[in-house]
């Protein structure tokens, strides 16, 4: 995903992925955040977030069963460090659910 905020381009295709965090809420929702660092400017960080809503109740009406809502949020180096501390342990393990929706 690519977006421009305040004349700065944030692109998940060209940035370095640092880590991923997923949160499952009940049986119908998955929230995923991925922390990225820009390859050209190491002081530029952003979170790519994605919400997946399972629409199993509407499957008979529509041809799709998952609604996906993505976005990008620019963040500071300090916020990136706090996110990293909160979601990646000392061994570098990135918690990720086995129930991922791809």
Residue range(s) defining the domain that contains residue 45: 2-87
Number of domains making up the chain: 1
Could you tell me how many helices (H) and strands (E) the chain has, helices first?
A: 1, 6
- 21 within some domain: yes
- 52 within some domain: yes
- 101 within some domain: no
pLDDT score recorded for residue 95: 45
Q: What is the pTM of this model?
A: 0.73
Residues of the chain with pLDDT under 50: 92-102
pLDDT score recorded for residue 25: 75
CB atoms < 10 A from the CB of 37, how many? Answer: 16
Do residues 2 and 13 lie in contact, with contact meaning Cβ atoms separated by under 8 Å? Answer: yes
């Amino acid at each position: 995903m690519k977006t421009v905020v305040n004349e700065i381009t944030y692109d998940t295709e060209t940035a370095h992925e640092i880590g991923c965090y997923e949160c499952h809420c009940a049986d119908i929702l998955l929230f995923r955040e991925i922390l990225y660092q820009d390859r050209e400017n190491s002081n530029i960080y952003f979170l790519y977030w994605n919400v997946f809503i399972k629409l199993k109740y509407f499957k008979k009406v529509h041809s799709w069963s998952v609604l996906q809502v993505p976005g990008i949020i620019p963040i500071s180096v300090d916020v990136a460090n706090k996110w990293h501390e909160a979601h990646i342990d000392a061994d570098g393990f990135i918690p990720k659910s086995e129930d991922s929706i791809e």
